[in-house]
C-alpha cells in the first residue's frame, strides 16, 4: 500500500508566486545630477523609482550601480582599468537617496498610482 503525501497547503490554480513590488508615487526617492561632457551642461531631476529615472534620463542604472555611486569608498578611485573603469563609465553622475513628497501631495493623499501622461 502506497502512502499519500499530505499537503498542508495547496496552491490555488494559476498561482504565480509573489507579486511585483508596489511603487509609492507620492514621494520622490531619487535625486540625480548628470554632467554632460560634450555640451558642458548639467541635467538634474527627482524620481520615484529607478525605472522612471532610467526612462527619463536615458540611463541604465541598476540598484547595485546606484549603491556604488552613493558609496565612493567601494569604488577604485585610481582608474587603473582606464576606459573600462567604474569612474570612466559613471563618474559624471551623482545620485542621492531622498524622501520628499511631491508638490501638492502630503502623507494623507491617495496618489499611489503612476500619473498618466
* Region class of 14: left (phi > 0), else alpha (psi between -120 and 50), else beta: left
What average pLDDT does the segment 34-51 reach?
Answer: 90
C-alpha cell, 77: 578611485
Mean per-residue pLDDT of the chain = 81
The string of pLDDT tens digits covering residues 10-23 is: 777 887 776 666 66
Dist CA 2 CA 44 (whole Å): 67
Going by C-alpha positions, the residue among 88, 94, 110, 102 that lies closest to residue 35 is: 94
Report pTM: 0.68
User: In this predicted structure, what is the pLDDT of residue 85?
Assistant: 85
The string of pLDDT tens digits covering residues 64-109 is: 999 989 987 778 778 888 888 888 888 889 999 998 888 866 666 6
Dist CA 79 CA 75 (whole Å): 9
Instruction: List Cβ neighbours of 60 (8 Å cut-off, separation of 6 or more).
Output: 54
Amino acid at each position: 500500500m502506497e502512502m499519500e503525501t499530505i499537503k498542508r497547503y495547496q496552491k490555488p490554480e494559476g498561482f504565480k508566486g509573489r507579486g511585483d513590488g508596489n511603487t509609492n508615487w507620492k514621494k520622490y526617492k531619487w535625486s540625480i545630477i548628470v554632467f554632460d561632457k560634450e555640451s558642458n551642461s548639467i541635467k538634474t531631476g527627482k524620481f520615484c523609482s529607478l525605472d522612471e529615472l532610467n526612462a527619463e534620463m536615458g540611463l541604465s542604472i541598476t540598484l547595485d550601480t546606484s549603491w556604488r555611486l552613493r558609496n565612493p569608498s567601494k569604488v577604485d578611485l585610481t582608474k587603473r582599468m582606464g576606459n573600462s573603469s567604474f569612474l570612466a563609465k559613471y563618474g559624471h553622475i551623482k545620485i542621492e537617496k531622498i524622501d520628499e513628497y511631491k508638490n501638492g501631495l502630503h502623507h494623507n493623499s491617495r496618489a499611489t498610482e503612476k500619473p498618466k501622461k
